Amino acid sequence: MQSRFLLSCLALASLPVAAIDSIPLDQLQPGLWKVERKIEKLDLNPVEYETRNSEYCANPKKEIARVLSVTNFLCKAEDSKIGDNRYKVHAVCRLPGIRGENTTIITIVSPSEYTAEVDTEGTKFGEKQHRKETITAKRVSDCKE
């Protein structure tokens, strides 16, 4: 089940842990989360749209930090607060075969809801890619274990 949460966080995966230190992810409560990802594949003609829905038990702060720690050494990122509950992270990644920029705006709506707007543009093994994602995550209950 944790792997499904990790998949929902892949849009944030180019952000190193240091970049999220100032984002109060500890406000987000562990529990059963329902996540909707709307993806626009802007590099395709015609543009393709995809929606993915999932539901799983997770601790958002712990899981997001785990994903982001992998890229801690690979990307250069800057973060800033752009509102009372909005945070922007801009990352530039130069990896073998993959180069690009990612801008993510995270909004912590409440301890049981957050959104993320993600714009990723770059190349993957020489092919241009441009994706926009809107992620809406809502805690729906405690986990039954």
In tens, the pLDDT along 66-118 reads: 666 555 557 777 777 888 899 888 888 888 888 999 888 989 999 999 999 98
Question: What amino acid occupies position 15?
Answer: L
**Is residue 114 situated within a structural domain?**
yes
- pLDDT at position 104: 85
Domain count, the chain: 1
**Is residue 145 situated within a structural domain?**
no
Q: Structure pTM?
A: 0.79
Instruction: Classify 106 in phi/psi space as left (phi over 0), alpha (psi -120 to 50) or beta.
Output: beta
**Is residue 52 situated within a structural domain?**
yes
**Is residue 23 situated within a structural domain?**
yes
Residues whose CB falls within 8 Å of the CB of residue 110, separated by 6 or more in sequence, listed in order: none
Check: CB of residue 36 under 8 Å from CB of residue 56. no
Give the whole-angstrom CA distance, residue 75 versus residue 77. Answer: 6
Q: Which domain holds residue 55?
A: 2-140
